[in-house]
Amino acid sequence: MPPTENVEPHPVSATTANPGASFAEAVAIMHRLRAPGGCPWDREQTFDSIRKYTLEETYEVFDAIERRDWAALKDELGDLLLQVLFYAEMAAETRSFTIDDVIAGLNRKLIRRHPHVFGEAAAAQAGNTAIGLETNGIDAPQVLRNWEEIKKLEQSSKPAPEGRLGTVSRSLPALSEAAKLGSKAAKAGFDWPDVSGLMDKLREETAELEAELPHAASSHKAISEELGDLLFTAVNLARHLKVDPELALRDTNAKFRRRFQVMEQATPTPLEQLTPGELESLWAQAKASERLP
């Protein structure tokens, strides 16, 4: 395990000649945070409790790239790397694997899938079993074809996915995964016949969620399940309407941002000091302003 004594973080410049030293320092810092006497919040986290932050940090990386904000991207990549260190440290505590195992696996994969760079012998030693690949003077499309062929052989050595839905990746965003699951099930005939059936199902799921609300203090898990059922039904409704639920929600998020900003700009009084009626009136004005020419 990395040392826990005398760990003092310090700034590292972009011209650091030995990134390995900086990475080792980051590993040591993470170990100290989780060790006895470390940070109380970090010590109580689990794989399940921090996974939402991993998704959040991934989207923040996307956002920084889209805005071409390289200073923000540097920070967001650090936050994303923190997630990797966090998971690896927790796995090391249960003797499942270590950060060294993670990096060693990545190194082998990169060599295995780039025989045109590292040579076929090195790629084979790293586990590549594909034969007859073009590797000399190849272009990007051929590199991609080689990558997919090598990856396919790697996957063939793993257990086959169970059932029809096993081919739907669990790593997709939840909205996209729900849409693909519904589509796969529909091909087997397990689907609502039309939109009216889904509207009925939406009302049914809403009623079941409402029934759990009086017990919110003691049945958080049940409420979470009912809300999940409601969202799953809404995603299938989007599929029937040929609407991408992810894009639809992103558009609504952008609309909410615009309207809320109009509310803030429409009054000199901080919003938190207004009554619910005044807030509703501002919201109605913001909606109406979007309809003006």
**268 located within any domain:** yes
Domain match, 203 and 151 both: no
Q: What is the pLDDT of residue 77?
A: 96
Ranges of residues in the chain whose predicted pLDDT is under 50:
1-14
Please indicate, yes or no, if residue 1 is contained in any of the structural domains: no
Rounded to 5°, angle at Cα 93 from 90 and 96: 85
Distance CA 197, CA 204 (A): 11
187 and 238 both lie in a single domain:
yes
Give the per-residue pLDDT at 7: 40
Domain CATH number, residue 89: 1.10.287.1080
Q: Where do the DSSP E strands lie in 118-260?
A: none
Specify whether 204 is located in the same domain as 142: no
Whether 131 and 188 share a structural domain: no
Whether 162 maps to a domain, the answer reads no
pLDDT of amino acid 71: 95
Q: Are both 174 and 122 inside the same structural domain?
A: no
CA angle at residue 91 from 89 to 106, to 5 degrees?
A: 85
> Structurally, how many domains does the chain consist of?
4
What is the model's pLDDT at position 4?
37
Q: Which residue has the tokens 């913001």?
A: 286
Please state, in angstroms and rounded to a whole number, the distance separating the CA atoms of residues 55 and 222.
24
- Residue 143's pLDDT is 87
Q: Alpha-carbon distance 10 to 73, whole Å?
A: 19
CA–CA–CA angle 140, 81, 36 (5° rounding): 155
Structural domain includes residue 194: yes
Residue 256 and residue 239 share a domain: no
Is the pTM of the predicted complex or chain greater than 0.75? no
Q: Does residue 109 lie in a domain region?
A: yes
Residue 10 lies in a domain: no
Is 14 inside any structural domain? Answer: no
Note whether residue 9 is domain-resident: no
One domain for residues 149 and 184: no
Structural domain span for residue 238: 169-243
Helix or strand or coil: residue 289? helix
Do residues 20 and 99 make contact, with C-beta atoms less than 8 angstroms apart? no
CA dist 291 and 201 (Å) reads 33
Q: Which residues contact 25 (CB under 8 A, 6 or more apart)?
A: 7, 9
- Is there a single domain that holds both residue 138 and residue 176? no
* C-alpha of 243 from chain center: 21
Any idea which residue has 């939406």 for tokens? 202
What's residue 149's pLDDT?
Answer: 85
CA distance 138 to 243: 40
Q: Give the domain-ending residue among 65, 81, 97.
A: 97
